[in-house]
Structure 1
Amino acid sequence: MWKPDRDSKKPIYEQIAAHLEQRIACSEFPPGSLLPSERKLAEQLGVNRSTIIQAFAELRSIGLIESQLGSGTRVSQTKWGVTPQYALNWRKYAEGGNFLPNVPFLRRIREALHQQPALIDFASGELAGSLAPTEEIQQLMREHTYTSYLGYDNPQGYVPLREALVTYLARYRDIQTTESSILITSGSQQSLFLIAQCLLSPGDAVAIEDPSYCYSLPMFQSAGLRLFRLPVGSSEGYVDEIRKLVKKHGIKMIFMNPNFQNPTGTLYDMARRSQLLDVASELGIPIVEDDPFSLTAYDSPVPPPLKAMDTGGSVIYIGSFSKIAASGMRIGWMVAPNAIVERLADARQQMDFGLSVIPQQIVAQFLTSAYFEPHLERLRLQLQFRRDSLLEAVRQELPGLLTYVAPQGGLHLWCKLVPKVHDGKLLEEAIRRGVVFVPGSVYGSSDGYVRFTYARPRDPREIGPGIAKFAEALREAAD
């Protein structure tokens, strides 16, 4: 983030005014847009509020901004305020279109992490850099010469990577497939996006879990889909609920995360898995199974995925490299009938002509290397240690203030708060104290739930202090 140069001979308020003028000229702040408040801008730039008042006065003097009591400071609707010539209003474009922005809480979390890099991060749903196989990847890059061809590759994905995934899926997930039935994507979210945009139509009804990571993705609403919920809790009555939704709303597709479900960490038992497959086959409804966490199981192997039990061809299976190695590699996959793979590969070609071939080559080498299995073992141990550290901190800092079920895999702890508290107030109190988490309402629950991602803090030694800060925020917000 830009900061004024305190060694410059130019006064700080003039530097700030010039910086804001440049951002306005570049349409970063289009006409009519609201500028940050004087207090907030002063905090961001590390200056006194009086300095911001001077800078704003400078911009007002040339007619570039306008201030109204109680309404804040906005960019003038007229360009430069000298000749009343209307400038292009980019705000209308930014607020238009069919693709919706992220939900406000997620935007607030992203903003806070950008502005305060030292925040203890329990919010970002990914592995810390220290958990990634960085040295192994670097060694593979030294050992292998990657292709000299840098043109467009097969939009379905790099063939050797798809072949490596055939072996990987058979060994680790008991899924029998072929390379022609695999589509390489940039991660699970792109798989979901392609499904929502290409296999469904506006107005179609789909079922998602309640609560669900899918609920936090505006891509479903952007596609014009109607979302209906299936409770994650008890499996009793689950199949009857699906039949009711199909009968009443004409459900076209079901989205599930049966292994260490995000955000709750729930592990579906074999009975529910069998029931899901039976009812999907009976009603002719496809299931999209998102399975990013299975290989993080701590103590014992998890039940087989729905896809491994799928004898009727009802399941589209999606996975990702992000949760077991490194999110920055941007590699995911989808296993589906060949006709679906071809349809989505065609859509991918229209979007971006396929992924970069270099990361695909690296991941193909890693999956087939002697480094992969030791990395998984080490990752499980480190995640279990982090989970145990989090549970111990919760017991010490939040006795009687929340309830939870200890996860047996995955990256997250889902908690229900005992005191009644507003999610927005709790989040702001936590950020003020130096810690960030995801409120449960992001995933469709009511106020009073939180998700902690114990895989994300830079160092596991941050976990205890982070929960202590959260405890302070909770007591303040509850009061």
Structure 2
Amino acid sequence: MKIELNRNSRTSLVQQIYENLSDRIRSGILNEEECLPSIREMSKNLEVSFLTVVKAYDLLEQNNLVKRVQGKGTFVKSHSIKCEKSKNTGSPYKWQLSIQDYLPRTHFDTHYNSSDHSLQFSLAAIAPSLLPNRYLENEIHIMLEKNPLILSEYGPIQGDLDLRIAMKRILKKQKINVSQKDILVTNGTQQGIDLAARTFIGPGDVVIAEAPTYPAALDIFRSRGASILPVPIDKNGIRTDILIKLCETKNPKLIYTIPNFHNPTGIVLSNDRRKQLLTIAQEFQIIIIEDDPWSEIYYNEKPPNPIKSLDTKGNVIYLKGLSKTLIPGCRIGLLTADGTIFNRLVSSKMNADLGSPLLTQKALYPLFQSKRMEDHIKKLRTALKIRRDLVIKLLKKHMPEGVEWIEPKGGLNIWISIPEKWDTKQLLLECQKKNLSFLPGFVCFCGEPETNHLRLSFSYLNDNVLETGIIELCRILKEFLSVTPPENSRLIL
């Protein structure tokens, strides 16, 4: 176990050790009942005082993450969310524990992938029946008949030129005027976040993220050794009044934001806040990662143009997901940036994989060229709006008193909050007994999480199963809230 400590940080060493270990415990990297290193061993390895480790372990115990057994050591307590990873007791792989890793948290893998549950509300993906699978299948056959040698070709590092030209036209509709030379094809926006992080973030660098936010992004930033500072959001998006105070005192290097139909809350960053955010980034010379997974999935009015459309000084790295609304299996996204920032990101892409697969790029190109893509998106908006409206109707009818939610104007998710003294990690255990899953909200926070939220994705199930699942969730939740929560179910903040 490798813990990186920043001795120049304003965050105390006690807090750094605690946060690193608590992230590993909550995300399941450290298994249930696993013994932590002894205080003396941890003190020696980290070159900190014995008392510093004692205080960090005390915080873990106070927050109900570990238990101490007199004469035996400190052990990870049973997780609220069961992890599929095997126990190490009696395992032939026990020797692997001696190998250091650099994974402080992997919430995305542990809590996002719940494909074994028939009532799956955890996956922010679109039902396969709503995607143009047959059309793309035919296009792939046609392409391979015309050019069978494509399977033996490497594509350009930046991506297929024809596809980048088509992407340029898409960006132009959003008032982002760039050349195809300034576009990088990525394996989805997930790779775009990773490329930006591995290029510009190292141990001790400060990253600002919305609270809550996309958990896999937090995993990536933490894996780079970053100190992540959360900024709360309100109905208009990230609180720029709080953001500017942090920028004045913490010297952040990067701001990660999801302005359109924010994941997980569905909130849209107002146009005024977009301008304020960009002004702050320009004033303090900060990079913005603008993550745009599904701005085209709007149910009322189209969201404001991207922050990148206002960017005149090259502060914004813009990421656009394309495969989620078309064909997730192709994993296609785009990245655009300016100046040397873009050049360095291209170098990172080369180091990562030498370029995205050419086959999938060529397969998607005809769709970008035709009117069929625009027609597909329009039909998709209609279908998803029907599902969103159905879920909201069912929530209003069946949800118990005291439960609140944000009605999204686009995107795939609904953010639900239950009374604060209850914990959605415990609720998920009850739901899993009925083959129902959702994303517990605590994974969307860095540091000390809020544990009374959940993200419900309504886009993956068909209408009949969707209705059954929502009614069942409301029933379980009503029963859950009728029982007094255990005193130790809440974290000590």
Q: Under a length normalisation based on structure 1, what TM-score does the superposition of the two structures give?
A: 0.77
Show the 5 A alignment for 1:33-182: 76=90, 89-93=95-99, 96-103=100-107, 107-108=110-111, 110=113, 112-114=114-116, 116=117, 119-144=118-143, 145-146=146-147, 148-149=149-150, 150-171=152-173, 173-182=174-183
How far is 1:143 from its partner?
A: 4.1
* 1:414 partner letter: W
Most deviating of 417-426 and 265-274: 417-426
Equivalent position to 1:452, from 440, 446, 456: 456
Label 1:293 to 1:427 Cα distance change in 2 as closer, same or farther (>3 A).
same
- Contact residue 260 and residue 267 of structure 2 kept, 8 A: yes
How far is 1:211 from its partner?
A: 0.8
C-alpha distance in 1 between matches for 2:259 and 2:426 = 32
How far is 1:264 from its partner?
A: 0.6
C-alpha distance in 1 between matches for 2:263 and 2:175 = 22
C-alpha distance in 2 between matches for 1:414 and 1:161 = 35
Partner residue, 1:229: 230
Label 1:340 to 1:390 Cα distance change in 2 as closer, same or farther (>3 A).
same
- Contact residue 400 and residue 477 of structure 2 kept, 8 A: no
Label 1:338 to 1:463 Cα distance change in 2 as closer, same or farther (>3 A).
same
- Which segments of 5 or more consecutive residues in structure 2 lack a partner in the other structure? 1-30, 34-77, 79-85, 484-493
- Contact residue 277 and residue 306 of structure 1 kept, 8 A: yes
- The DSSP-based 3-state class of the residue aligned with 1:268 is coil
C-alpha distance in 1 between matches for 2:303 and 2:377 = 15
Partner residue, 1:277: 278
How far is 1:235 from its partner?
A: 5.2
C-alpha distance in 2 between matches for 1:243 and 1:403 = 30
How far is 1:247 from its partner?
A: 2.1
Partner residue, 2:244: 243
C-alpha distance in 1 between matches for 2:238 and 2:214 = 22
1:463 aligns with 2:462: no
C-alpha distance in 2 between matches for 1:88 and 1:373 = 53
1:475 aligns with 2:478: yes
Larger Rg: 1
- Contact residue 387 and residue 454 of structure 1 kept, 8 A: yes
* 2:456 partner letter: F
- Contact residue 122 and residue 437 of structure 2 kept, 8 A: yes
- For each residue in 1:244-293, what CA deviation from the matched residue of structure 2 results, as whole angstroms up to 9, or x when unmatched? 11222111111111111111111111111111122222222121111111
C-alpha distance in 2 between matches for 1:194 and 1:474 = 40
Partner residue, 2:318: 317
* 1:477 partner letter: F
How far is 1:338 from its partner?
A: 4.4
Show the 5 A alignment for 1:195-234: 195-214=196-215, 217-233=218-234
- The DSSP-based 3-state class of the residue aligned with 2:378 is helix
How far is 1:73 from its partner?
A: 8.3
- Contact residue 254 and residue 285 of structure 1 kept, 8 A: yes
* 2:458 partner letter: Y
How far is 1:432 from its partner?
A: 0.6
Partner residue, 2:304: 303
- For each residue in 1:123-164, what CA deviation from the matched residue of structure 2 results, as whole angstroms up to 9, or x when unmatched? 011111112111221232344434624232211111111111
* 1:471 partner letter: C
- Contact residue 215 and residue 443 of structure 2 kept, 8 A: no
C-alpha distance in 2 between matches for 1:399 and 1:356 = 49
C-alpha distance in 2 between matches for 1:337 and 1:74 = 48
* 1:129 partner letter: P
C-alpha distance in 1 between matches for 2:153 and 2:140 = 20
Show the 5 A alignment for 1:337-416: 337-416=338-417
Most deviating of 401-410 and 176-185: 401-410
> What RMSD over aligned residues (CA atoms) do the two structures have, in Å?
2.6
C-alpha distance in 2 between matches for 1:74 and 1:245 = 42
* 1:156 partner letter: Q
- The DSSP-based 3-state class of the residue aligned with 1:420 is coil
- The DSSP-based 3-state class of the residue aligned with 2:253 is strand
C-alpha distance in 2 between matches for 1:245 and 1:465 = 45
Label 1:183 to 1:147 Cα distance change in 2 as closer, same or farther (>3 A).
farther
Label 1:129 to 1:255 Cα distance change in 2 as closer, same or farther (>3 A).
same
- Contact residue 122 and residue 455 of structure 2 kept, 8 A: yes
C-alpha distance in 2 between matches for 1:109 and 1:297 = 24
Label 1:140 to 1:248 Cα distance change in 2 as closer, same or farther (>3 A).
same
Label 1:153 to 1:472 Cα distance change in 2 as closer, same or farther (>3 A).
same
- For each residue in 1:350-406, what CA deviation from the matched residue of structure 2 results, as whole angstroms up to 9, or x when unmatched? 222211100011122211123111100111001101101111121222142421221
Label 1:470 to 1:88 Cα distance change in 2 as closer, same or farther (>3 A).
closer
- Contact residue 435 and residue 466 of structure 1 kept, 8 A: yes
Aligned residue-pair number? 396
* 2:232 partner letter: P
